[in-house]
Structure formats: C-alpha cells, structure tokens
Structure 1
C-alpha cells in the first residue's frame, strides 16, 4: 500500500494447518511454513508492481493469536503430543482455535488472580498461558526449559529482526501481562509456571521492568540481513511492532468516513469518536473490539487492555468462536448441499445467491412480510464450538429447535437464514453486554468476508438496532492495519510514545477509504419478531445451563454453574 492507503499490489499463499483425526480440539501450524509463505507473497507483490525494494519504506505484521514455540536460537520446537513433543520439528504452533488446554484453563480460573480481572473474569483456553501450562504438563522438564514462547505476531517481528521485543497488544491481550503492573509472579507460581518468573521471564520475552512496544513502534534495527534476503527487501527496512489480526482489522476500519445513500459524510472522524465504533472482524470466528479512554471491566468480555494500539487508550474484545466456520458447517453437512452446488453451477451463480432467491420465493409463496417471519419457528443457538463471550464458557454447545423431517433445498435455505440470524442475535448479546457495562457503542464497522454478505449485514443492523459500516475493501482491512504499522515505523518520530496516539490516528484516517452504511430498515412488525427471537436466544442459554447442571447432578458430580 502507498501512503494514501491505495493497494499497489496484493498476493496470497496457502499455509498448512494440521488436524488430529481423533481429536477435534487440535489445530497446529508451522512458523517455517508461514515465514516461507510471507517471502513468497512479498516477492510476488514486488514483481507485479514493478517496484524496486528501495521503494518499501516500512513493513508491518499481523497474525492470529496463536502460540509459537522455538528454542532460544529461534529453531522450531514440536508442540504435538507424543514421543517428539519438545524436540526440534516443523509443527511448532498451537493455533488459537486449539482447545486442548481446558484442564489448564480451569485451574487458572480457580486461582482468583488479578489476571482474571483483565480477561472478563475468566481466562479462555484459547489464550497463551493455558497452552504454555499444557506444554509444561506434557513435556520433559529439560526440554520445556529450552523453549521460547511467542504470540505469533511477535514471532514474525522476531524472525524479521532477531530482536525479541514484544508488543503490548500480544502480551496484554493473550499472555496475562497486567496493565500498569506487568507480570504477576504469584500467579505463575500458583499455577505451576514459577520457572517463568525464576528466569526473569526470558522465555516469554519481556524481563521485569522492560517496556513493551505500542503498535507500530520500530522493532530493533529493522530487517536483519538474513530476513531481508528471504523477503526480497533491504536490510534495515523499519519493522513496526505487530498486532493480533483482529486488532489490525480494528485499525483498518474504524477511522473511515462513510457514505449514506451514496452521499459522503464531510465529518472527519476524531480519536474520541472511535470509542463509539465497534469493529467486528469476521472470518472463521469473529472478534468484536471497542476502545475507551478509561478501562471498563465487562464480565465475560476480554480486557480491559491498556495501550494495545493507541497509547493511553483501553480496549475490550468480545468474540464468537465460530461464525464463518458455523455457516460453512451448517451448509456442507446438510443433505441438500450437493443439490445446492449443482443448481448454482447450472445457473452460473454462487450458492448464496441461490439460497437468497429460494428464500425470497418462499416468502412470497407463504404470504409473509419478511424472512424473519418465514423462519419464526426455527431457532438455532450458535455455540457449536463453545462460547467466547459474553458467557465465556467453552462447554456451551449449539442447538436447533424447530427442525423438520425435511432434507430438501428449501429446508437448507431456511436453515441457512436461521444460522445468519443466530450470529446476528449473538452479536447483539455482545453489544448489549458492552453497553450495559459502560461502553457507548452506536455503530458497527465490519471487515472480513462476511461483510460481503449483504443479507447478514442487514440482519446485524436490524437485530442490533444500529448502522453497520462496510469497508471499501472488506477483505483488506486486516492487512491495511498492518500496512499502517509499517508506515508508522518508518516515521522519523515513531519512537516517541508521547505523540503515538495522534500520529497513528492521523495515519489511520489518511489510509482508510470511506465505507458504505447499512442502516436498520425493519418494519415495526419485524422489529417485534426480532425482539421475540432475541428473548428466545437468551432463554436458550439459561435452559442449556440448567440442563447441564441437572445432568451433572444426576451423574453425582454436582452443578458446576
């Protein structure tokens, strides 16, 4: 991207994810594979743009909040359970979606530590400390002591610069680094990771008293000779302190001006306005990020985190563990899915157009005013992969009420719409929880592939009763945020913390293209139906908890709620 945010060149490269066919909780990747792919795409971008590497003034990284494990020379350490756990080998990332560390997370959540106050009261098994504890519990002690642990975004800046400086974003959001007080020695001793503090936190990269880097601040002396050669860039090219991908998506969306009915607003957004804009960064899962000038504690929602992006500001992060993944699952596991694919191919269109056309035809045939009324008796609860927020319970599971003995394309279309509805209702649950705790969210800024689904975006606006702003480039919001980090790192004054907030926000405004507004548009009747759907959604949560407690009581284990 250039300084105005225009995409000069783009490229992509597949990366590997390993799954265990006997354990659905396992997701693993490789830093070597990801770094190699990074070099491939950068070289493709340089070639397609015709730019000389000297034209690249800065580089930024984002990545998923996954645990990367190396030795102290940066060589990968295997994280796969088995005889070679802790040895050198390719599979050295425990992906965010990996749920192997449930026992460790339960132990952590029983400590009452202050670290829990900054993750909504309950630590997710998707975070890094439960995963590190799992490795400690399953790895030979002499091998564990040789491990260096990174949140994946920080590994990429380490690989680029050989400087082990860590980002405030990764440490505070995923690694139990408490705002204003740092590492908690008593906490690590209590859970069995006392050796981290005994070694002055060398294994997690920031020693007692050292500063973390706020977003975009330069890492070390820029690209090392080796990394520059691997990426096709110049040694010393500035590297900005990295962000978790969802936070980069926040950067790439919330500073946008917007068009309403084709008319561009003349209001230039201020940093203060950002506190009313929720970024919903959607992909396999969805993250919901909002910032505030003061820390706001929200039960079941991660944070408040201080300085993850903007110096002096706090952030909360809600999330849905499965959204894009849930839509795909509901479609591909329905008996009529192959029929849907065949029809779409015959009509030379995509499956989503076929589904929407089918739903609209059904609406007319049934003489109802909306698709909400068409599917009023079909209720899906979406936590097929546990609840990230605001319940913060990985044991929550999905449910379908109103299922019919019907395996037709018509039934698939209804199921599809009910799935979109479930995702929208859960989004409202998160927004309502944030606002009840003290936030003042008045709009949602979308990014990711789901922003292309206009029907889903209209549901978000109608269900949440607020406008949804769609970015000019829905797929590019996250990498746009990373590019902003690179630009900030190249700024001659980027090492000054005192001016970071204003300088970074100005870059965000300059590099973010205007978005389009989807306003709430439901009729009073549909609004009543949507409210009834939401009431049932909340009741479903209470029912599931009550049923779980009853079954555990019958097993003699007692209620766990």
Structure 2
C-alpha cells in the first residue's frame, strides 16, 4: 500500500492540513479551517471585557476544531484510505504560549473570566515592560545566554509573557501548574504525552546548553518567579522524533488510525526550511506572510545582534539554527488597504499601479515598524514611519513604499548576519506573499541577489508532513526526507541592476531613518506610544 503522512499547520487565523505521499512529497489533498474566534485582540469572548492595548489571545478549542475538520477534509480531498496514513505532525506560530493544569487542561477552561488564563498569541506585545527589565537585569548580571538572542530577549517570548502573568495576575500564575507552547500542547492532545520540542524550548524558552536561566536570576526579577523552570521544564524531544502514538480520542477527531506516529512539535517557520530543501549552512528561508520569519542554519556558533535566537539543532540536526524576523509584513499591506483606504482600491489594483512605477518615482521611504521591530532592534515599542509625502502622493505610492520598506527590513537582517560572520549563500522565499510577483521582484532588486522559491503553497504543512515521515521511520532523518519530498525552484527571480542601483540609494536613506528613530537619537516613537497608552487609561 502507498504510504501517506499528514501535516497540520496552525496559523494566526486558521489551521490547514495537507496529505502528502511519503515516496515523493506529492501533495494530494489539503483543507483549511478558519478559527471561530480568530485572533482575540479586542474583547474577551467569555465576558465581553475589553482587552488592553497590544494584547492578542487565542482559543484552544479553535485548535482542536482544526483537527476535527481540516484533517478529515484533507484526507477526503486526497481520496486516500485513512489506513494508509502512517504519521501526523504539526507546527505552530510561536511564541504562542498557554498556562495549563498538570494534565494539560487549559487554564482558560477553569478561569474563563480571567484574560491571563488564555493562550497569548505570538503577536501579544503587552509584555514589553517585562522584556525591558529581563534584558536590563541579564545585561547587568552578565547572563551568558543573552548573546544567543542578539543581546535582547523579545517581549514575544516565554519569559516576558510568564513574568507578565505573575505580576498582573498572581493568582493565575499560582494556579498554573504548567506553561506550554501551543506547539507542544497540540501534540499533548494528539499523543496523550507531554513533550517539549527542542525548537521552541531553545528559541522561545531560553533553553541553552541544557539549562534554563538560573533560579537566582529569576528571583532577582521577582521573588516569586524562582519556580518558573518547574512550570516549563519537561521531557525534551528532538525535531523529527516520535512524541508518541495517536490516541483513540485524537483518532476520533481526525479520522486517522489510532496508534500511528505523532511527531514532536515544531514552529511554522523552522519546519518550512527542509520543505524548501534548505538543509545546508547558508541557505536562508524567509517565510513571508502576515509577518516574516527568517531562518537559516550555520556550521558554527556566532553572536549576531538582534537575532531572535541561535540554537544548536534548532532547525537541522548538527547545525546552529539562526532566527530573525519582521513583526509585520503582509499585515502592513492589509492595514493600509483595509483601514486607510476604507473600501477603496484593492490589493490587486494597488499592485498593478505600483508595479507601473520606477523605483524612486514616488519620492517616499518608509520604516516597516507598524507592529514593532523584531530584528534587529528587538523593540516592539516602535511604530511605522513614512517620509516624503506631499499633496501629490497617491495610494499606490504609499503602497509601493510600504512594500519596499519590508524589503529594506529584510536587507538589514541579512547585512547583520553577514557582518557577524554568518554568510547567506541563497535566499529562498516561502509563504503566502509568493503570489505577488511584483513584491518578489522588488525583494530581488532591493536585496541585489537571486530569489529561489519553495515549490509548495503549504510550506509549513509540507515540512510538518516530512517530519511525520521521519517520526514514522520512513526516512532516517530530515535531510533524507528533504531530498525526496522537498520542493524548490532555484533563482525564480533575478535582480534588475538598474533598479538595484536606485534601491541602494533608498536603502541608505532607510538605514539613516532606522538608526535615527530606532537607536535612541530621537525617541519620539516611544514617547508617542506612551502618550497614547496614558490617554487610553
């Protein structure tokens, strides 16, 4: 019988499942299930209470519904016998983090009226104050792990979110027996076994060289924070490993055979790298969607300012995995179209008009910080900037400037990697923004390098399916699975030299603004944010 695997990708607003043939990676069927609650950013569903600024939550039941609906629908679309499926694997946004009881019951099921009991989505940025103190104290004490995160730990990561719970809702913190990445929680529901995957533990949980931050450091942050490690520590499992077997309950949800392999959890961006055949040092994969995550492997450890994390075995076993990111990319374009234009021009119309322009024609330059800056400044208190507008500025001018700004942000990340001794030998793009050919050409011109593209519209789900094949024993490791199942089109876009020359000049202006507003020369963006929050209270 032909063997198949299922990959499930849990995103910001929906989950998608794909059924993949083990022999060659052919994607036979896919299905998407929209979360009933989406990203919870305005009010708490259970009470209608307004959420504070910069909050973003999710609902665990929405994730289970993906298993109930998307997986059976994908198997049906593929037209395969469920009995031919030998494994299932999942990936998740991260850091998406929830408190639970000891048996994995989400605390929001017990305390539905308490907003801190819910999973905090990756783009929950309300813990910036905690992150600032985490970084200041770590720098003061000379904590060795801080350089692995580019000198600043993000407010998106576990420590900041956990400390926020302790300080703002100590009763919730005390009640929480475990804090779990959603990537591990969903595997817990599938296999009935608690595991901690090496990827999220390293990048989001500050597990470096086998240890979490010390109890002395944690208690210096807050006297009651000394038990933090006991709430997050657990059986550490390697990527591609088998977490356990599909339980009878999960088999009922998915329609798959009980007992098949359930792979260890993973992060949506990181799991995409092998799907794009990026398993060697120097191959950078940019997963471009609502935000962009940049992941690549290197042969040796290097300290890179502004990285989200550098973790041994974090992406590919035996290599150092580097992660950087931009907190908003597609979200910026959507904000412009849906909010500022209020039902005016569509994405497609703006793209056509913007593509008709020459680089530099609009006279604008923008900073892509509408959701803060993840790399290389690691500061979610920053906000977007557009310079050069006049009464002659048209919507397509601003749209193009925003597209270019996100490309300049990626160029900044690559420049910091390379100046730190981590060469980027190939740039591979994945994610939903690949459909915009204009955008991809702008990136090639701004980066002044060819862009390869993944050969799948479901890169994370395909990558998860490949890890399922490894967990089920169909391949000895993820490199072998990538060779047989991965898909990539080399140099799908090549830079135009004339356009690249203009973008070199614009990038110099972007860099000047980047440092002026982002490195403390003018702190106006932080002052404006503080004023907004003061007035909102």
Q: Deviations over 1:420-476 (max 9, x none)?
A: 111111110000000110111022111111111111111111111111111222x31
Q: Which residue in the other structure is 1:138 paired with?
A: 168
Partner residue of 2:265 out of 214, 239, 242: 242
Pairwise mapping of residues 29-48 of structure 1 onto structure 2 (< 5 A)? 29-48=58-77
Number of the residue aligned with 1:344: none
Q: Is the 8 A contact 2:154 2:374 kept in 1?
A: yes
CA shift for structure 1 position 372: 0.5
Match of 1:454 in 2: 437
Q: CA deviation at 1:78?
A: 2.6
* Map 1:247-286 → 2, pairs under 5 A: 247-255=270-278, 271=279, 274-286=280-292
Q: Hey, what's the Cα distance between the residues in 1 that align with 2:360 and 2:318?
A: 46
The correspondence for 1:340, drawn from 317, 338, 345, is 345
For residue 300 of structure 2, the aligned residue among 271, 288, 294 is 294
* 1:50 equivalent among 69, 73, 79: 79
Q: Which among 14, 24, 27 is matched to residue 7 of structure 1?
A: 27
In structure 1, what is the equivalent of residue 534 of structure 2? none
Return the offset for 1:41. Answer: 0.8
Task: Tell me, in whole angstroms, the C-alpha distance in 1 between the residues paired with 2:137 and 2:321.
Answer: 24
Partner of 1:160: 190
Length-normalised TM-score, structure 1 = 0.82
Return the alpha-carbon distance in structure 2 between the equivalents of residues 359 and 84 of structure 1: 46
More strand by share: 2
The structural deviation recorded for 1:223 is 1.1
Q: Please, which of 249, 272, 295 is the counterpart of residue 226 of structure 1?
A: 249
Partner of 1:530: 503
Q: CA RMSD in A?
A: 2.5
Note closer, same or farther for the CA distance 1:80–1:275 as it changes in structure 2 (3 Å cut): farther
Shift of 1:197: 4.3
Distance 2:105 2:507 in 1: 50
Cross-structure match for 1:115: 145
Match of 2:422 in 1: 439
Alignment partner of 2:63: what SS?
helix
**In the comparison of the two structures, how many residue pairs are matched?**
492
Secondary structure at 1:51's aligned position in 2?
Answer: coil
Match of 2:177 among 147, 164, 171: 147
What residue number does 1:268 align with? none
Question: Residue 504 of structure 1: CA displacement?
Answer: 1.2
Counterpart-to-counterpart distance in 1, 2:227 and 2:174: 14
Structure 2 CA distance for aligned equivalents of residues 125 and 249 of structure 1: 24
Per the normalisation by structure 2, the TM-score is 0.86
Deviations 1:340-390 (A, max 9, x none): 24xxxxxxxxx42x33443455x4xxxxxxx21322x21111111111001
Deviation at 1:127, TM superposition (A): 0.6
Q: Which of these two proteins has the greater Rg computed from alpha carbons? A: 1
1:551 offset after TM fit, Å?
Answer: 9.1
State the SS of the aligned residue for 1:19. Answer: coil
Kindly tell me: are residues 22 and 70 of structure 1, through their superposed partners in 2, closer, same or farther at Cα, counting changes over 3 Å? closer
5 Å-filtered alignment, 1:115-514, equals: 115-141=145-171, 144-182=174-212, 184-192=214-222, 197=227, 201-206=229-234, 212-220=236-244, 222-255=245-278, 271=279, 274-335=280-341, 338-341=343-346, 351-352=347-348, 354-359=349-354, 363=357, 371-375=358-362, 377-406=363-392, 411-473=394-456, 475-491=457-473, 503-514=477-488
List alignment gaps of at least 5 residues for structure 2: 1-19, 43-49, 531-537
Distance in 2, matches of 1:188 and 1:159, equals: 30
| 8 Å Cα contact 2:448-2:500 kept in structure 1 | no
Residue 482 of structure 1, CA deviation: 0.5
Secondary structure of the residue that 1:12 maps to in structure 2? strand
Q: Could you tell me how far apart the structure 1 residues matched to 2:359 and 2:351 are?
A: 13
* 1:515 counterpart residue number: 489
Counting only pairs closer than 5 Å after superposition, residues 73-88 of structure 1 correspond to structure 2 as 73-78=103-108, 84-85=114-115
CA displacement 1:489-521 (0-9 Å, x = unmatched)? 000786xxxxxxxx2111012111231523433
Q: Which moved more, 1:535-544 or 1:134-143?
A: 134-143
**Closer/same/farther in 2, CA of residues 404 and 218 from structure 1, 3 Å limit:** same
CA distance in 1, matches of 2:370, 2:352: 27
Report the secondary structure of 1:9's partner residue. strand
Matched position secondary structure for 2:500: helix
CA contact (8 A) 1:319 1:389 kept: yes
CA contact (8 A) 1:447 1:470 kept: yes
Secondary structure of residue in 1 paired with 2:99: strand
CA distance in 2, matches of 1:513, 1:418: 32
Tell me the alpha carbon deviations over residues 175-228 of structure 1, each in whole angstroms, 9 at most, x when there is no partner.
111134455333322223766648xx442142xxx5x211110003x1122222
